[in-house]
Amino acid sequence: MVSELGPAIFLVLLSVVLFLFAWFGAWYAFKVECLGYTHYPMRLNRKTRQVYFFRQNGTVLTVPWDDLFITLGEAKSPITSTTYDLRAHVLDADGETVRESFSLGYPSLLGNAESIDKFWAFLQPYMEAEDGVERTWRHLKEQTGYLMPVDGRREGWRWSIVQNYAWSGHWPWLQFIASPVLGLNAVGRMLAMWTSKVPEWPAEVEQESQVDADDPYVLTWRDNDTIGWWELYWPLICTLIGVGAFIGVIGWIIVVGP
């Protein structure tokens, strides 16, 4: 009798653990990612030398580029360990007290401290070099994979999948192995987009950011190359496999369990 109860107890415990894990993960992801904004944009205005930063509470910080104290930012994460970004501090009149901080960005999720130097070498000329516009345009045309279609709109499901798998683009085998996790994360990303608001810049920011109709250096997501097999369709297959596997395991536990 005892030996027969062993598998049943194991299945019950496994079911409870999986349920709690899924519930906590879903609750945490919904709390952090949903019902906010689809993204938190930033604008660098070379002409007025102003930086506009969209805060998480929906307000906008406007600060002169030349007044920012820019340094290497560092953050700890249990998933990705130490991550780095280009951090901007807004200082008080004493030049020492930090009033507010925000990230100017990072080249990649798995980037190291040295990669931030390269990112700064890309960003700084746009605001400070005489030929900064031309250099930035050339870099984006030649080296950047895709520009995100999120200005004034939600990220579509295709881009949710592309972005979700982008960090592992060089390892298709890893995308397949990790498909249950990556697939659920992709679905969660889509849910976050559907339940969040699209950020809107104040009228004065839009007015100060007008682009000339004949500007030869305009570059948007509409200039992207066509998304390829390994960028979209293979990750889409992995997402379907991963989500299907997760649903199958949960269904098996429910059916086979006591």
Indicate whether 184 and 203 sit together in one domain.
yes
And the tokens for 76?
Answer: 């700890």
Indicate whether 107 and 117 sit together in one domain.
yes
Indicate whether 156 and 208 sit together in one domain.
yes
Average pLDDT of the segment spanning 13-25: 68
Of 125, 144, 163, the last residue of a domain is 144
Indicate whether 13 and 90 sit together in one domain.
no
**Residue range of the domain that includes 70:** 41-144
Range from 107-116, 125-134, 172-181, 238-247 carrying the lowest mean pLDDT? 107-116
More confident residue, 136 or 7: 136
Indicate whether 238 and 174 sit together in one domain.
yes
Of 118, 144, 170, the last residue of a domain is 144
pLDDT over threshold 60, residue 90:
yes
Residue 37 CA to residue 152 CA, distance in Å, equals 11
pLDDT over threshold 50, residue 197:
yes
Backbone CA torsion sign across 91, 55, 186, 20: positive
Indicate whether 166 and 131 sit together in one domain.
no
Residue 17 CA to residue 11 CA, distance in Å, equals 10
pLDDT above 70 as % of the chain: 85
Of the pLDDT bands very low, low, confident and very high (cuts 50, 70, 90), residue 2 is: very low
User: Are 217 and 152 a contacting pair, CB within 8 Å?
Assistant: no
Enumerate residues 6+ apart whose C-beta is below 8 A from 13: none
Which strands form 50-54's sheet, in the order they lie side by side?
A: 42-45, 50-54, 60-64
pLDDT over threshold 50, residue 109:
yes
Structural domain total, the chain? 2
Indicate whether 138 and 151 sit together in one domain.
no
Which strands form 98-105's sheet, in the order they lie side by side?
A: 68-77, 81-91, 98-105
Range from 17-21, 40-44, 51-55, 90-94 carrying the lowest mean pLDDT? 17-21
Indicate whether 229 and 137 sit together in one domain.
no
Query: What is the model's pLDDT at position 15?
Result: 66
Of the pLDDT bands very low, low, confident and very high (cuts 50, 70, 90), residue 153 is: very high
pLDDT over threshold 80, residue 40:
yes
Q: Three-state SS string across the chain, please?
A: CHHHHHHHHHHHHHHHHHHHHHHHHHHHHHHHHCCCECCCCEEEECCCCEEEEECCCCCEEEEEHHHEEEEEEEEEECCCEEEEEEEEEEECCCCCCEEEEEEEECCCCCCCHHHHHHHHHHHHHHHHCCCHHHHHHHHHHHHCCCCCCCCCCCCCHHHHHHHHHHHHCCCHHHHHHCHHHHHHHHHHHHHHHHHCECCCCCHHHHHHCCCCCCCCCCCCHHHCCCCCHHHHHHHHHHHHHHHHHHHHHHHHHHHHCC
And the tokens for 83?
Answer: 């991550």
Of 124, 144, 164, the last residue of a domain is 144
And the tokens for 17?
Answer: 């653990």
Query: What is the model's pLDDT at position 29?
Result: 65
pLDDT over threshold 70, residue 111:
no
Indicate whether 165 and 63 sit together in one domain.
no
Indicate whether 172 and 255 sit together in one domain.
yes
Indicate whether 203 and 244 sit together in one domain.
yes
Query: What is the model's pLDDT at position 35?
Result: 83
Range from 4-13, 69-78, 200-209 carrying the lowest mean pLDDT? 4-13
Backbone CA torsion sign across 46, 84, 178, 171: positive
Q: Which amino acid is at 223?
A: D
Query: What is the model's pLDDT at position 1?
Result: 44
Indicate whether 109 and 157 sit together in one domain.
no
